[in-house]
Structure 1
């Protein structure tokens, strides 16, 4: 199966052909994938070199002219390094862009901590008005990329990962998807962590919600699920643990409830290792998730 990032250039290249408002801004990363599109649209495929602050600033400048810029590089270089430009050039100037990242939290361990970004979504949460898509399958990534580009002048972040679920679910860029229904609690699985969550909760009497879009947060579906089950919620996110705990609390503010936020820990793992080893070290493998979910909810096995 191809990866989410394998879909990125072909999808956006087609969008360049279809929509004269679309432009692509790159900082060397991914440039070769747009070679043909650059020949067809030399004025709308722009490489700024290894200058990530300029990457975002150029995207904002294009947005000010009425274009819909798609800005791409690794997550750590797209969100963390040029954060001031995201805050000011896009936010303060009130213009939109589609930021599309690669490498997620630790998709390329050999790149070291400079190429890891578990805090990207939490960092964007300090700003107003961002839509955040976290697809869990290449088909979902394609759908959500199209949603993002079509979203007029909205500020949208699309978080691509090499980690993937086995099958795509229908995503609409808005609502959570109910995968299982149970009575002992609600588990919200985000993006590529759905498969481990399903393995971890096999046979347990819990509701499993799937989130491929986390901002805005689908409070309506979550409330509906907690009304039919226990109002205790476990969040399983592929980035910094606890990132969405406050959004769950806001959604359930008038209900007595408990929340457990699982995700990537704050402690830096200083050995490269493999993606699977990082997953296990952060307790995001199916076995660890089952222990943590069961320990929090005290879940009984379905009869």
Structure 2
């Protein structure tokens, strides 16, 4: 199966052909995928080199001229390194753009901590007005990329990962999907965490919601789920643990509830190893998730 990032350049190249507003700005990373598109649209495919602050600034400038810029590099270089430009050039100037990242939290362990970004969504949460898509399959990535580019002049972040669920689902760029129903708690699985969450909760009496658009957070779907499953909520996120616990708290502010945020820990893992080893070290493999979810939900979860 191809990866989400394999879909990125072909999809956006087609969008360049279809929509004269679309522009692409790269910071060296991913430039080979746009070689043909650049020959067709030399004025709308720009490579600024290894200058991530300029990547954001140039994208903001294009947006202010009426274009719809798509900006791409690794997550740590797209959100963390040029965060001041994200805050000011895009946010302060109210300039819309589509930020498309790669490498997710730890998709390239050999690249070291400089190429890891488990805190990217948390960082964007300090800013106003961002839509955040976290696809869990290449088909979903394609759908959400198209949603993002078509979203007027909004500020959108699309978080691509090498990790993937086995099958894509019909996501719509807004709502959570209910993939399993139960009565003893709600598990919200984000993007590529769905397969692990389903394996971890097999045979447990829980509702599983699938989230690929996490900002805005689908509070209505969560509230509907809690009407039959109760107000114990577990978040399984592929980035910093607890990133969306405030969203759950806001959604359920008028009812007693408990929330457990599972995700990537804050402790830096200095033995980089493999992706699978990082997943296990952060307790995001099915066996670890089952133990942690079961301990939180208690006896009721076994039906």
Short-chain TM bin: over 0.9
| Secondary structure at 1:135 match in 2 | coil
| Residue aligning to 2:236 | 236
Q: Confirm whether residue 44 of structure 1 aligns to residue 44 of structure 2.
A: yes
TM-score of the superposition, structure 2-length normalised? 0.99
User: Does the 8 Å CA contact 2:294/2:301 hold for their aligned counterparts?
Assistant: no
Instruction: Give unpaired runs (5+ residues) of structure 2.
Output: none
CA deviations on 1:21-50 (whole Å, 9 max, x unpaired) are 000000000000100000000000000000
CA deviations on 1:189-238 (whole Å, 9 max, x unpaired) are 00000000000000000000000000000000000000111101000000
CA deviations on 1:234-289 (whole Å, 9 max, x unpaired) are 00000000000000000000000000000000000001100000000000000000
CA deviations on 1:96-142 (whole Å, 9 max, x unpaired) are 00000000000000000000000000000000000000000000000
Cα distance in 1, alignment partners of residues 121 and 302 from structure 2: 35
| Residue aligning to 2:34 | 34
| Aligned CA distance change for structure 1 residues 170 and 292 (closer, same or farther; 3 Å) | same
| Residue aligning to 2:6 | 6
Cα distance in 2, alignment partners of residues 134 and 254 from structure 1: 28
Query: CA shift at 1:302, angstroms?
Result: 5.5
User: Does the 8 Å CA contact 2:184/2:301 hold for their aligned counterparts?
Assistant: no
Runs of 4+ in 1 over 2 A off after TM superposition: 299-303
Q: How many pairs are equivalent?
A: 303
| Aligned CA distance change for structure 1 residues 213 and 84 (closer, same or farther; 3 Å) | same
Cα distance in 2, alignment partners of residues 126 and 228 from structure 1: 33
TM-score of the superposition, structure 1-length normalised? 0.99
Cα distance in 2, alignment partners of residues 118 and 301 from structure 1: 30
User: Does the 8 Å CA contact 1:205/1:299 hold for their aligned counterparts?
Assistant: no
| Residue aligning to 2:269 | 269
User: Does the 8 Å CA contact 1:174/1:213 hold for their aligned counterparts?
Assistant: yes
Cα distance in 1, alignment partners of residues 165 and 39 from structure 2: 35
User: Does the 8 Å CA contact 2:185/2:301 hold for their aligned counterparts?
Assistant: no
